[in-house]
Amino acid sequence: MNTNSLFTSLEEIVRNLEKKRLADVFRFVSFKPFEKFGPHQHVRIEINYVKKGNCILKLENESVCFSENEIMIVCSNVKHSFEAGAEGTILMQLEFLPEIFSRFDSSENNINVGLTPVTIFSEANHLIKIVNNVRIMRAVQRIVNELNTKSKYYQHLVVMYYAELLILIYRHMDEAYLPICTNDSLKKAISFLRMNFYTNITMEEVAQHAGIGVRYLRKLFSHHLNISPLDYLNQIRINKSIDLLKNTELSIKEVCFTCGFKSPQYFSRVFKQQMGISPKEILNR
């Protein structure tokens, strides 16, 4: 696709968006300690990045805690309420109609049918929690910044950033779940590992969450993935550490503890085992 046809495609998407509403909410907002909002629901997809503090998002049947640098994605028509933490909360908010993402739906051409708003933002994924994903946070921030500054051709940039955001969320969902696996216990274990990799998690806790014993947990991972649960956990941590090393100013030691490793020495050893190079060497690539 040449530059002219790409620009024409962007023009068409921008033009077709109803009243060119690229977002309904795009802001940074502060909440006082224990301040509450809701319950309410809306058609808009809501993305909140916790810039400072912590908070609780309450749904009809569950409450989910969010801490600094975590992202919550609330899908359309999900009834929810918000409560700030003891020290207050600062959120970067972005809310937009699902029609934004529908412009990137390639299923009509049989291209990557799985990459659609319907499959990602379904009832099963009514609330998505994303931990330590710098690229998704930055995609949201770019959209918010462009909508606030409104520089020339900002609409076109915002449309491209939405496409990037959709792909990054899709990647996260693809990595966080195991759709090809039919074993519910293994799915629960994998989901729990991916949501808690940055904590001092134990295999006993993983097994308990999945409703099975540790021995059977190891058997499931060996049978379906040909890997141990601990090695799988370390793979998650190493993948996240590479992202942080390449996309943040965090030191190697800070990345080590952010990703759940107990010591820089162990982090370096596991990193070199999996990547063949040290964390320091990855910075020079």
- Per-residue pLDDT tens digits for 202-229: 999 999 999 999 999 999 988 877 789 9
Look at residue 131 and tell me whether its pLDDT is greater than 70.
Answer: yes
CATH fold label, 3-176: Jelly Rolls (2.60.120)
What Rg do the C-alpha atoms of the chain give, in angstroms?
20
Token pair for 67: 């801490």
Asked if residue 75 lies in contact with residue 127, where contact means CB atoms within 8 angstroms, the answer is: yes
Output the CA–CA distances (angstroms, integers) from residue 279 to 125, 131, 268, 272, in the order listed.
34, 21, 6, 8
CATH fold label, 184-282: Arc Repressor Mutant, subunit A (1.10.10)
- Per-residue pLDDT tens digits for 39-81: 999 988 999 999 999 999 988 877 788 888 889 999 888 899 9
**pTM for the whole thing?**
0.62
Neighbour-count burial of 23, counting CB atoms closer than 10 A to its CB (0-12 exposed, 13-18 middle, 19+ buried): buried
- Per-residue pLDDT tens digits for 228-270: 999 889 988 988 888 888 888 899 999 999 999 999 999 999 9
Q: Where are the domains of the chain?
A: 3-176, 184-282
Angle between helices 229-247 and 203-210 (to 10 degrees): 110
